[in-house]
Chains A and B, each alone.
Chain A
Amino acid sequence: MSAGADGYLLLVVLAGGVATYIWRALGVFAAQALDPEGNLLRWLGCVATAIVAALCVKLALAPPQVLESTHLLTRLGALFGGVAAFYVSANTTIGVGVSFALIVLVEQFFRPAF
């Protein structure tokens, strides 16, 4: 890329950093203003939980480039299979390990067989 394009990209990244930090700074303000045991914070906790759950499912439904070759059912199976394994084993590592194994096994061996 030319120097001008590099300079513009640098500007974009710096501006993107500011645009991101604004929300984190607002989060700091909110933390100072809210009662740590209070209902408002409990509600924010629920919102954060729901956002992360939504993010996970969104990545399964509309996958980024690397995941486009995988089947929708493989991705959903990995998410929920991991949770099932977690409930059986009571161990997060085993849950995530099962998710990983499911994707590799299904995509490498099972699907090519059909």
Chain B
Amino acid sequence: MQEPEISTRYEWSAFWPGVTGIFSLAGLVMCASFLGFGALLNGMGFDLWPGLLTTLLIWALPGQVVLLTLFQEGAALLAICLAVSVTAIRLLPMVTVVLAKTALPEAPRWPSYFLAHFIAVTLWVLTGDDIMAMPRPRRLPWLTGLACCLMTVMLVMTTIGYYLTGAVPVAVAAALAFMSPCFFFVSLFAAAKARMDLLAIAGGVALVPLCMRLVPDYDLVISGVVGGTFAYLIGRRLGKVR
């Protein structure tokens, strides 16, 4: 069965096993973030539906928060779209890296375009060793199953958070809200295989305080591109092995 030739079909039987991926640290951390988002929504005086719709259509919390904040401040439609779009630039490299590891080059394209809508930091972090251990035709269906499950659960979490506002102590609410940066940060180190990856982390960490002052609207993209490029160039010179 395991022919070395290039597969042209996805094995969609991996969709349902992917759903179980939600029982993971990543799933738990994401739940905490979306509970927090629901609470924020309520605190800002919004109805529930705009929160749910941004989760469904944007699926990246920084962009969702920027959109709702600017709307409330009365910003113009074009200004809001530009600001949201800037927060989404960071998704481009993540989508490319995830699809390069999971998509079948000879298969139809629509599954890639569908999965791309769900790719943000969490799916990028999850596309690690476990996924790479699967046969290639199963990877994208597995991730798509997980992604659909995550979105369904996060819609529920947004709703619960909306109605639970103020029910937990401030310190616990703060700790829950800060879970996702901590999870992402630790995951970066856990996923670092080469010196290049550690240099990229260091680059982002070192540049962001500066970029926040100099280019506040583009701080993440600029610290990422500059820091990542430096890491890539230095890492190549040093060699790939740690």
Interface residues of A (CB under 8 A from B): 1, 6, 9-28, 30-32, 34, 36, 39, 41-67, 69-70, 75, 78-79, 82-83, 86-87, 92-93, 95-96, 99-100, 103-104, 107-108
List residues of chain B with CB within 8 A of the CB of A75: 178
The A interface is mostly helix, strand or loop, or mixed, namely helix
Among A6, A16, A46, which residue has its beta carbon within 8 angstroms of that of B58? A16
| A96–B25 touching, CB < 8 Å | yes
| Complexed CA–CA distance, A103 and B200 (Å) | 26
| B77–A61 touching, CB < 8 Å | no
Chain B contact residue count (CB 8 A cutoff): 99
Among B169, B201, B231, which residue has its beta carbon within 8 angstroms of that of A108? B169
| Complexed CA–CA distance, A67 and B39 (Å) | 13
Among B36, B53, B71, B178, which residue has its beta carbon within 8 angstroms of that of A103? B178
| A55–B184 touching, CB < 8 Å | yes
| B92–A27 touching, CB < 8 Å | yes
| Complexed CA–CA distance, A74 and B117 (Å) | 34
| B175–A100 touching, CB < 8 Å | yes
Among B91, B200, B229, which residue has its beta carbon within 8 angstroms of that of A20? B91
| Complexed CA–CA distance, A25 and B155 (Å) | 23
CB distance from A10 to the nearest CB of B (A): 7
| Complexed CA–CA distance, A84 and B71 (Å) | 40
List residues of chain B with CB within 8 A of the CB of A41: 96-97, 100
- Give 16 A-B contacts (CB < 8 Å), ordered by A residue: A20-B60, A20-B84, A31-B96, A46-B197, A50-B204, A52-B185, A52-B204, A55-B184, A55-B220, A56-B182, A66-B40, A69-B174, A95-B190, A99-B178, A104-B171, A107-B174
| A60–B88 touching, CB < 8 Å | no
| A31–B204 touching, CB < 8 Å | no
| Complexed CA–CA distance, A48 and B112 (Å) | 19
Closest to B187 in A: A92
Contact pattern, B 37-66, Cβ under 8 Å of A = 1, otherwise 0: 001100100010010011001111011010
Among B92, B99, B186, B227, which residue has its beta carbon within 8 angstroms of that of A92? B186
Task: In the complex, identify which listed stretch (B6-14, B15-23, B144-152, B206-214) lies at the interface while the others stay far away.
Answer: B206-214
CB distance from B55 to the nearest CB of A (A): 10
| Complexed CA–CA distance, A63 and B55 (Å) | 21
Within 8 A of A (CB), among B208-242: 208-209, 211-212, 219-221, 223-229, 231-232, 235-236
| Complexed CA–CA distance, A92 and B183 (Å) | 8
| B54–A23 touching, CB < 8 Å | no
Closest to A95 in B: B186
List residues of chain B with CB within 8 A of the CB of A17: 54, 57-58
Is B196 among interface residues, defined by CB-CB distance under 8 A? Answer: yes
Contact pattern, B 84-128, Cβ under 8 Å of A = 1, otherwise 0: 110111111111110111010100010011001101010011000
List residues of chain A with CB within 8 A of the CB of B39: 66
Is B203 among interface residues, defined by CB-CB distance under 8 A? Answer: yes
Among B103, B116, B185, B199, which residue has its beta carbon within 8 angstroms of that of A56? B185
